[in-house]
Amino acid sequence: MRIIFTIALLMIFMGKISSAQTEQAFYVAAVVKNGSMISQNSILAGGRTGWIVSNNIFLGAAFYSLINKVETNQIDPLSSRKLLALFNCGGLEIEFIYPSNNIIHGSALFFVGGGGIKPRAADVSVPHSSYNGQSVLIWEPQVNLEADLTRLLHLGLGLSYRIVTGVDGYIGLQNRDLSGLNSLASLRFGIH
């Protein structure tokens, strides 16, 4: 947590220094990530928001949630069915866009945040056990190729690698079960 606050303060400080020489800009984006969790296809959906702190650097926040069914290896003792995984995460992002004034441009992004995983019954209409979740720390570098569809609308495609720590041993999972390569698509609204 201390690292996250230090990075946030540094980015705010960088923004104060550079704000006199840049146009202020704000954005929101919808993001869908496709990858693997627990050796199964996973789809994370969420959103990002942020603002420009210099001509090519954006500071923001993001939240993602697992939206498809991913089974764990655990069986619920009451229902005798495999448990599903609930996964959410949120955190801070810093993004470097280059060259930002071209219609097609690249970007490198780094996400750091926290999240949680929790098993849940596949069918909640039958008697089932209740479970506590496990907090995790997530680091995720990402590269993107983005095209400006209009001045305010930008379509991006990219790759990221999610690194999850804090899982080892929880409901029979390891960190590597939640870590992995993701492809992604984003639709960003805002000026940059």
- Span 159-181, pLDDT tens digits: 999 999 999 889 889 999 999 99
- Identify the pLDDT of residue 20: 42
Lowest mean pLDDT among 13-17, 38-42, 81-85: 13-17
Query: Could you read off the pLDDT of 153-164 as tens digits, one per residue?
Result: 999 999 999 999
pTM score over 0.75 = yes
DSSP secondary structure letter of residue 39: T
- Identify the pLDDT of residue 136: 97
Is the pLDDT at 29 greater than 70, yes or no?
A: yes
- Between 77 and 106, name the one with better pLDDT: 106
- Identify the pLDDT of residue 17: 43
Neighbouring C-beta atoms of residue 142, cutoff 10 Å? 22
Say how far apart CA 71 and CA 184 lie, in whole Å. Answer: 22
| Residues 10, 12, 13, 17, CA torsion sign | positive
- The second-level CATH assignment, the architecture, of 2-94+109-137+149-190 is Beta Barrel (2.40)
Q: Map out the domains of the chain as residue ranges.
A: 2-94+109-137+149-190
